Structures are given as C-alpha cells and as structure tokens.
C-alpha cells in the first residue's frame, strides 16, 4: 500500500508561511509522499520559492512538485527550481522520479502542461505564427510527458501536472476559459502509459474528480477545490480503511 498526499495552487509568499505547517507536520502519519501540482508561489520569484521551501520542505517524506504558470510569471523558473532543489524538493518538468515506499516502486512523471482546449473545442496548430507557437508548445510538452510516463519502471505510476488533462475536472469554471486551463493532449499522454492516477491543479473553481478517455482516474487537487491542506490517495491497496487516523 502506498499513500500519496497531494495539493496544488498553494501560492506561497511571506504572508502564507506558517498556514500549512501544522497540517504538514501531521503528514508523515497520513501519507508516504507529498506531490504538489504547481503554482507553488504567487509570482515565481526566488524569494517566494524560499518561502515555499520553508513551508513545504524539511518534511519526513519526499516532496515532488511541478511548476505552474504563476511560477513562470517572473521568468525566473530556473532560479526557482534551484531554490527548491537545494531544499531537497524534487522538481519535475517532462521528467520522472521513482520513490521506494513500503517495498513498492512509486513512479511519478510530471510536467507543467499547457492550455489548448479539449476535443470538439480545441486550438489547432494552424494559421498565425503565434497560434502555431501556442499549440506547438502544448504538443511538445504533452509528447515529452508521454515519453516520461512510458519510461518509468514501477509498481504504481502517477502523472503530475498543473494544467488539466480532461474537461470533467474543470466543471464549475466558465466554458470560455477551458482552453486556458488544460488540453486533451495531456490526457492522451497519460493514457499512453499504465498510469494509475493523474493529479493536476490550476482550476480553482473546478471539480475534484474525472477520468481520462482511457479510464485513468483524474483528481483536481487545487487548494480551493479540496479545501484542506492536502488530500490523501491510496494506491496498491491490500485492505481499504477510509480513516486516516484511528478514532
């Protein structure tokens, strides 16, 4: 059995430091790893990354993250990544990692992802250079996420993105902005590998649960959606116990 804690869109800056920590101190009693689905910071500055590392680093479990669009706002995503890596946090971008947990290999492949929309209402790689660049970025990230997912050898495989891979978990957001919240190409990438669970954020007004066309469970773990410090998901179950902490 593996238990994964997950949250996204925590948007940490100096005002937020300390809010999550009481719940995070309890995390090792509840889960074996923490995955964070992007928008770690508000503006993507190294100083905010230090705030994030203070809040989410130094836990007794591995922490694996992807960046979100907010973490790109200051064009300092490389420095942000370095701050996080120096704090012992694993940052994935079209890459993967394997964690040894309870005798099992948990594989995690992650990417920020990008927009583009979903089947029947998506952008095409056609027309103006700006449009081709937009959709080309979508396609490139999804292709590389798929390669990362297919390269992992593990007992349970998790896909971690910021942008959404399916429209179901966007329900509650205005339809007009779906193309800025995710793309179907991410869902195809997730379906190209034996993925057990896909986690994403970005859609603050979205819904929690969906599935890819191939049947992979998708969970939107954006903090305003889950309304607690993190959710916990159980994989490779031998027995089912919905209570995290004995009464």
Report, in Å, the least distance between residue 8 CB and another protein: 12
* Cα separation, 201 vs 161, whole angstroms: 7
Q: Which residues contact 166 (CB under 8 A, 6 or more apart)?
A: 118, 182, 184, 187, 210, 211, 212, 213, 218
Q: Closer CB to another protein, residue 94 or residue 164? A: 164
153 lines the binding site for another protein (CB under 8 A): no
Q: Considering only residues 55-114, where is the footprint of another protein by CB under 8 A?
A: 70, 73
50 vs 46, 85, 150, 241, CA distance in Å?
A: 6, 11, 33, 36
Q: Could you say which of 28, 30, 95, 104 contacts another protein (CB under 8 A)? A: 30
Report, in Å, the least distance between residue 26 CB and another protein: 5
26 lines the binding site for another protein (CB under 8 A): yes
Report, in Å, the least distance between residue 200 CB and another protein: 15
User: 151 and 169 in contact (C-beta within 8 Å)?
Assistant: no
If binding means CB under 8 A, how many residues of this protein chain bind another protein?
41
According to DSSP, the residues that pair with 217 across neighbouring strands are 211
Stretch that binds another protein, among 59-67, 95-103, 163-171, 236-244 (CB under 8 A): 236-244
* Cα separation, 164 vs 68, whole angstroms: 11
Residue 135 C-beta-side C-alpha neighbours within 13 Å: 13
Q: What 8-state DSSP symbol labels residue 16? A: T
Q: Could you say which of 37, 205, 207, 210 contacts another protein (CB under 8 A)? A: 205
* Residues in contact with another protein by the rule CB under 8 A: 3, 9-12, 15-16, 19-20, 22-23, 26-27, 30, 42-43, 70, 73, 196-197, 204-205, 217, 223-224, 227-235, 237, 240-245
């Amino acid at each position: 059995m593996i238990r994964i804690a997950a949250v996204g869109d925590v948007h940490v800056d100096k005002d937020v430091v300390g809010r999550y920590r009481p719940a995070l101190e309890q995390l090792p009693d509840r889960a074996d790893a923490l995955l964070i689905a992007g928008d770690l910071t508000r503006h993507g500055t190294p100083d905010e990354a230090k705030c994030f590392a203070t809040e989410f680093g130094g836990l007794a479990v591995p922490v694996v993250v992807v960046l979100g669009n907010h973490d790109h706002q200051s064009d300092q995503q490389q420095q942000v990544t370095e701050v996080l890596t120096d704090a012992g946090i694993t940052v994935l971008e079209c890459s993967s990692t394997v964690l040894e947990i309870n005798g099992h290999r948990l594989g995690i492949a992650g990417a920020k992802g990008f927009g583009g929309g979903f089947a029947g209402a998506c952008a095409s790689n056609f027309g103006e250079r700006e449009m081709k660049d937009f959709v080309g970025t979508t396609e490139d990230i999804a292709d590389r996420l798929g390669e990362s997912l297919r390269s992992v050898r593990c007992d349970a495989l998790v896909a971690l993105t910021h942008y959404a891979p399916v429209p179901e978990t966007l329900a509650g957001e205005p339809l007009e902005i779906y193309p800025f919240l995710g793309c179907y190409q991410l869902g195809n990438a997730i379906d190209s590998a034996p993925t057990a669970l896909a986690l994403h954020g970005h859609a603050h007004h979205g819904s929690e649960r969906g599935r890819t066309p191939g049947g992979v469970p998708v969970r939107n773990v954006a903090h305003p959606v889950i309304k607690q410090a993190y959710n916990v998901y159980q994989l490779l179950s031998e027995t089912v116990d919905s209570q995290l902490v004995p009464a």
